[in-house]
Amino acid sequence: MKVGLCAYSAFKIYPGHGKTLVRTDGKVFTFLNGKCERSHLMKRNPRKVTWTVYYRRKHKKGLEEEQQKRRTRRTHKFQRAIVGASLSEIQAKRNMKPEVRKAQRDQAIRAAKEQKKATKAVKKAATAPKSAPKVEKAKQKIQKPQQKAAPRVGGKR
């Protein structure tokens, strides 16, 4: 059979016990005994009445304390793909060894230096013959943007 709970004390009500009250607004209360019923009708707040379960829960009486302490929230870290890079790309970058990374960096530095040298040489060539014809200048000028557009080696700086 169904074992109900007292509306006032929250004790179990076994079959054969208890009394129900239907209030004017339609709310139904089941009481374990006359003590609970009277307390309710006297408008005593069960959270202030020491022997009820509600009081004990509110003031944390009993063994529930230990159980509550054990539970701790842990945030989980998630690895997600971003718009610019898929999950595998991110993982590859993360798992790259430091030697490899260093080699990439050196390569990038070398490439950048070479670029600079090239641009400097082009500039010198452009500025040295000032009396040179305009066509040559135009050609040289055209060359500059092409050389600048050298592909980058390595990842982000």
Partner 1 sequence: MSALKQGIASPLRLFTKTSPLMPLVIRNFHASSCLCRLQLLSRVRCVDNSAIGKQAMAEGKPPKIIHVYNKKRRATIGDKVLMTVKGEMKKGIIVGVKEHQKHGIPRSDTNNVVLIDDNGTPLGTRINAPIPMILRGIMKEKTIAKGADYTKILSIASRFV
What is the nearest approach in angstroms of partner 1 to the Cβ of residue 26? 6
Tell which residue, 20, 27, 26, 23, has the closest CA to residue 6. 20
What is the nearest approach in angstroms of partner 1 to the Cβ of residue 23? 5
What is the nearest approach in angstroms of partner 1 to the Cβ of residue 24? 5
Q: For partner 1, which is the closer residue by CB, 1 or 149?
A: 1
CA–CA dist 80, 86 (Å, integer): 8
Q: For partner 1, which is the closer residue by CB, 35 or 113?
A: 35
What is the nearest approach in angstroms of partner 1 to the Cβ of residue 87? 55
Tell which residue, 9, 20, 18, has the closest CA to residue 55. 9
Which positions from 6 to 45 touch partner 1 by CB under 8 A, shown as an x/- string? ----------x--xxxxxx-x-x-----------------
Where does this chain bind partner 1 (CB under 8 A)? 16, 19-24, 26, 28
